[in-house]
Structure 1
Amino acid sequence: MPDTAPRRRFSRRPATRRLGVLAAALACLATGPQAWALHMPKESELGPQALTPFMQSSDHIWDAVLPLPDGRMVLEAPAWLGNSGPQLFIRTPDGATAPWPAAMWNTAQGSSAPDAPTQDTAAKPIIAAAGLTRTAQGTLWVLDSGVPQREQPPKAAPRLLEIDPTNNAVVRSVPIQADALQPGSILSGVAVHEHTAYVPDSGVGAILVVDLDTGISRRFLDRHPALTATRPIMTPQGPLHHPNGGLVAMDASMIAVSPDGSWIVVQPPGGYLSRIDTGIFNDPHITPAAFEESVTQWFKTPSLGGLVIDSDGTLYWSDITTGSIQSYTTGRIPRRLITDDRLRWPTTPGLDGKGHLYVTASQVDHSGAFGGAPSMNWPVTLYQLTLPTTPPTH
């Protein structure tokens, strides 16, 4: 029987013992053939000239960017980083920004939301933007976790919003069923393929699989070692701590689904990248043991600020430890594209399909999100990286 006792994430108590025990469990997963991936190169392929400032803000911390085919960009400025005002913006090609998909969806923030969660999720402003993705069909899905501050109770029930970028309109709101959550659940990140959404639980490690047509939410791999905070989040200055000295811990919050929907990758910020065959979620004959063993360690990643997947299955992620952008092909070939001191806690990147990657140096560790006083070095800068045109050399 799985352990259902509630846990607090971002614990203000030292997490060393829990991290050590779970790290040992995770190490056991690395003993099989899946551990034979190539090492990340130490030298960058690109020089600093490939990374150029694209836009800046003196009052918002963006943690995700999603370029659209028409030249616009969706920017996420979540409440948990201390942002006030809109949590979703649209940037037009001329540089203008506006709340998106409309002002009404960005009028109420966590401080003004109800004190108790509600299941009435339709046509209510976004409480806590916690992930966005674009499907192959062109629509966008936004996760509203309902938790604007991770150390405080939810302000609303979590939901998924489908947005038509052509009309700038929310066309569907899909509530996450309460029985798929646990005390302490904080959903973060979303990946969508056709009629299925995959959502990690960064508060109590698990994967939620949501049928977007029926609204049925199912919970899998509850507290699996690959989905829990097994390692400290490493910054250039060392492990990330709360002001009182306790290690910051966050369970799985980064996820992507393959273009054909056959697998997902997922990881906690301080964990390793794992790959999971999505077929297991609908296999009525799979045993509990086989289910647990179906999680494959895919790469020993550093601490990440975000990841995104390209149309060919190549992953791009931001390394917060070294200030790097790296990529990883489906053939398991890693590339260190660039390392640059300007990339201070780079977060979830976006691809424009025209040879560019966009990423914000979000300075998350200076935002005050982990309990300390904010010490941001404004402005926050969104950078454009011109990707290499040469294939991997391995």
Structure 2
Amino acid sequence: MKTSLLAASALLFSACSSPAVRTPSPSSLVVAAESRDLIWNAVALSEDGRVFVSGPRWTGSRGPALALLDAEGQPHAYPDERWNAWSPGSDARQAFVNINAIHRGPEDSLWVIDTGAPDFGGAPLPDGAKVVRIDLKNGTVSRVYPLGAEIATPQSYVDDIRIHGTRGYLTDAGRPGLIVLDLESGAARRVLDNAPSTTAPMDRPILLEGKPVKAPDGSVLRVHADPLELSPDGKWLYFASLHGPWSRIETRWLEDASLSPEAVASHVEPWADLPPTGGTALDENGDLYFGDLAEDAIKKRTPEGRIETVIADPRLHWVDAPYLTQDGWLWLPVPQMDRVALFNEGKARTTWPIQLLRLRVR
């Protein structure tokens, strides 16, 4: 593994010391880490500033599915080698098959979304689709939430999670819908299956470099329910296909298992007409930071609905799942997803190294 961590980011790691460096002004990008053989599409930080990264198996990466970066930017399998050692034919229950997202949750917990399908568009393996909770204080898996075949269906690609209280809310980018997970009992339910709000529209292609991204079969790529966020008070769930536009629903309607599918759908409201985005982060003030894929830009939607461009830079080519720290740093993995071989007739166009950037936004 050949990765490097630039000195400008060393202050974030309490375990190492470095000379004083100038704090970047707003809207200036800092390279936090680089990789020449792993593609990272997600990042999360612990309370003490440790940096965790992950990436899907189908990008061609062969290193750890989930890694902790040390002060030199070297990735180390997390929580251990065994969880990162899955191979075809081995047990999928206690190993990462294909991580799509990681999310820092309450009580310094890391939530890992394993689609359970090693191939893009493939069916989840038996016992493969799951949500894994890791206690970052002691580095151990504290619970595994299996997502059975009735939840993670053969068409599913379980995408991401947000948490409030005893509920987890997940998106399914393969079979359009949301998943409501009871974090105490482990029971899960599907809602808004094939609803317009969770289904990728036909007339909003994902455009990068002026061209629509193509699926492996040559058709225009469509990614169903993908980004999601919870309002700071947990009252509203905001969600969309990768293409947009966004909708919202009060979480109380998602928690009521007695409601019919039609009744749940009746409570969905239009929220924001945002362009295709690889990922988002919502702060405590209600400001939504998102990557505008077509413009290689990070933008912000204010609670009043105003859209502002924070920064536009060619290095921000398909920013995926960002992470916002309490002190105002927005961490930006840049996996260049549209350039992987899967979407280019088997020939990768990735510009190496893959970068993990950060940006001071407040």
The answer, yes or no, to whether TM exceeds 0.5 is yes
Aligned to 2:220: 247
Q: How do 1:98-137 residues align onto structure 2 when only pairs under 5 Å count?
A: 98-109=76-87, 112-114=88-90, 121=93, 124-137=94-107
For residues 124-157 of structure 1, what are the alpha-carbon distances to aligned partners after superposition, in whole Å with 9 as ceiling and x for unaligned? 1110112111123221111111012123332343
Of 320, 345, 352, the match for 1:378: 352
Aligned to 1:149: 119
Is it true that 1:184 corresponds to 2:155 in the alignment?
yes
SS of residue matched to 1:180: coil
1:181-236: CA deviations, max 9, x gaps?
43311211111222211111111100010112111111101101111110211213
Distance in 2 separating the partners of 1:166 and 1:339: 36
What amino acid maps onto 2:200 in structure 1?
A
- Secondary structure at 1:209's aligned position in 2? strand
Aligned to 1:193: 164
Q: CA deviation at 1:343?
A: 0.9
Structure 2 residue runs without a partner (length 5+): 1-23
Structure 1 residue 202 corresponds to structure 2 residue 173: yes
User: Relative to structure 1, is the Cα distance of residues 324 and 287 closer, same or farther in structure 2, using a 3 angstrom cutoff?
Assistant: same
The aligned runs of 1:213-232 (5 Å cut-off) are 213-230=184-201, 231-232=204-205
TM-score by length of 2: 0.86
Flag the 1:324–1:208 CA change in 2: closer, same or farther, 3 A: same
Q: Is the 8 A contact 1:236 1:320 kept in 2?
A: no
Which amino acid counterpart does residue 77 of structure 1 have in structure 2?
G
Compute the displacement of 1:289 (Å): 4.2
SS across alignment from 1:190 = strand
Query: What amino acid is aligned across from residue 153 of structure 1 in structure 2?
Result: A
Counterpart residue type for residue 211 of structure 2: G
1:343-378 Cα deviation digits (max 9, x unpaired)? 111111111222211112211111123352112111
Tell me if the contact between 1:71 and 1:92 (Cα under 8 Å) persists in the aligned partners: no
Give the letter for the 1:68 counterpart.
S
- 2:121 and 2:261 map into 1 onto residues whose CA distance is 33
Residues 294 and 49 from structure 1, CA distance in 2 versus in 1: closer, same or farther, beyond 3 angstroms?
closer
Change (3 A) 1:186 1:285: closer
Alignment partner for residue 273 of structure 2, among 300, 303, 325?
300
CA contact (8 A) 1:80 1:149 kept: yes
**Identity across matched positions, percent:** 30
Is the 1:133–1:192 contact (alpha carbons within 8 Å) kept by the matching residues of 2?
no
Alignment TM-score, normalising by the size of structure 1: 0.79
1:83 — aligned with what? 61
More displaced 10-residue stretch of structure 1: 164-173 or 83-92: 83-92
User: Helix, strand or coil for the counterpart of 1:253?
Assistant: strand
Residue of structure 2 equivalent to 1:23: none
Aligned length: 335
Give the CA deviation at 1:87.
0.8
Note if contact 2:225-2:239 (Cα within 8 Å) is conserved in structure 1.
yes
Matched, 1:272 2:248: no
Residue 291 (structure 1) aligned to one of 252, 256, 264: 264
1:38 equivalent in structure 2: none
Higher strand share: 2
- Aligned AA (2:44): L
Deviation string for 1:54-74 (max 9, x for gaps)?
Answer: 211000111011122212111
Q: What SS does the aligned partner of 2:158 have?
A: coil
Identify unmatched segments of 5+ residues in structure 1: 1-45, 390-394
Q: CA deviation at 1:48?
A: 9.2
Larger relative contact order (C-alpha < 8 A, sep ≥ 6)?
A: 1
Deviations for 1:32-87, whole angstroms, at most 9, x for unmatched residues? xxxxxxxxxxxxxx999611222110001110111222121110122122211211
Does the CA contact (< 8 Å) of 1:326 and 1:335 recur in 2? yes
Cα distance in structure 1, aligned partners of 2:69 and 2:155: 34
CA distance in structure 2 between the aligned counterparts of 1:70 and 1:326, rounded to whole angstroms: 27
Moved over 3 A (4+): 46-49, 92-96, 242-245, 283-290
What is the one-letter code of the residue matched to 1:60?
L
CA RMSD of aligned residues (A): 2.2
SS, match of residue 353 in structure 1: coil
